[in-house]
Amino acid sequence: MILAGITLFQPDLVRLKENIDSIIHQADAVVCVDNGSGNIAEIKQLLSEYKTIDLIENGENVGIAKALNQMFEYAQKNGQDWVLTLDQDSVCPDNLISEYKKHMNMEHLGMLCPLIDDRNYGNEAASSSEVEEVQRCITSAALSPVSVWEAVGGYMEELFIDFVDHDFCAKLQENGYKVIRVNTTHLLHEIGHGKNHGIGSVKLFTTLNHGAFRKYYMARNWYYYIKAHKEVLNTTTEWTKYYFFFIKTFLFEDNKAEKWKAMVKGNKDAKVMCAKRLNR
């Protein structure tokens, strides 16, 4: 039994309806977890059209990680063995679950994910094989067994937002599980409000233009992620990307002072988090 879980925070209702319509006939059940949306009355009205969708209301924004754990807890209580996690604006392809089912019996499977077609970064590079093992994937359209979620300790709620997915993938690998990308199904996705930078037609890098709130969590959680999972990461590459993230924001984004202040605070708070949780 597969439960599809959708995290909500101030969703666009038209896109949310597209999201639900794309998955409701593929999954065995659907639950939405709302993190204090101001348009909760409209959300309830929309969900009432479907009859079979349950809603968990948190009343406030408790973070993505907490919402994801609530989905898996719901699955445990209701007899579902797998959870498909979805962003509120995800629109799944028609073949998502049918393609996943071909590989759900794979040994040491921790997570299945689709090939991502991102509006900012372009399509992920894929091999010619139907499936391949990858280091990490985004939360949206990822499918995991409830038993594996429980075995690795679930999602780290202190992270709140950003790197919640990467941290979970790293924990899977540290516990001997595989993250498998299914290259025969694609998810159209967009991270932030990206702007590409380059020379002529050659793209060199992308800035995502998140606000200061998100920049804080990116700086804090990325630092923690590298420190916490150095056994499964290429830390040289990760640290290079981390500090380039600071440089790109300072040189190419608006509201530099506000974002820089938030990122510096995030970096400082990350060191405190690492000292408390990792003793380093």
Number of domains in the chain: 2
Cβ–Cβ under 8 Å, residues 111 and 182: no
149 vs 75: CA distance, rounded Å: 11
Q: Which of 163, 134, 153 has its CA nearest to residue 232? A: 134
Same domain, 30 and 154: yes
pLDDT in tens, 18-64: 999 999 999 999 999 999 999 999 999 999 999 899 999 999 999 99
Phi, psi values for residue 24, rounded to 5°: -60, -30
- Measured in whole angstroms, the distance separating CA 38 from the mean position of its chain's CA atoms is 22
Q: Which of 73-82, 101-110, 196-205, 207-216 has the lowest mean pLDDT?
A: 196-205
Given 189, 224, 240, which residue is the final one in a domain? Answer: 189
pLDDT of 92 strictly over 60: yes
**Domain containing residue 237:** 195-277
18 vs 33: CA distance, rounded Å: 17
Same domain, 39 and 153: yes
- Give the pLDDT of residue 209: 77
pLDDT in tens, 214-263: 999 999 999 999 999 999 999 999 999 999 999 999 998 999 999 999 99
What does pTM read for this prediction?
0.93
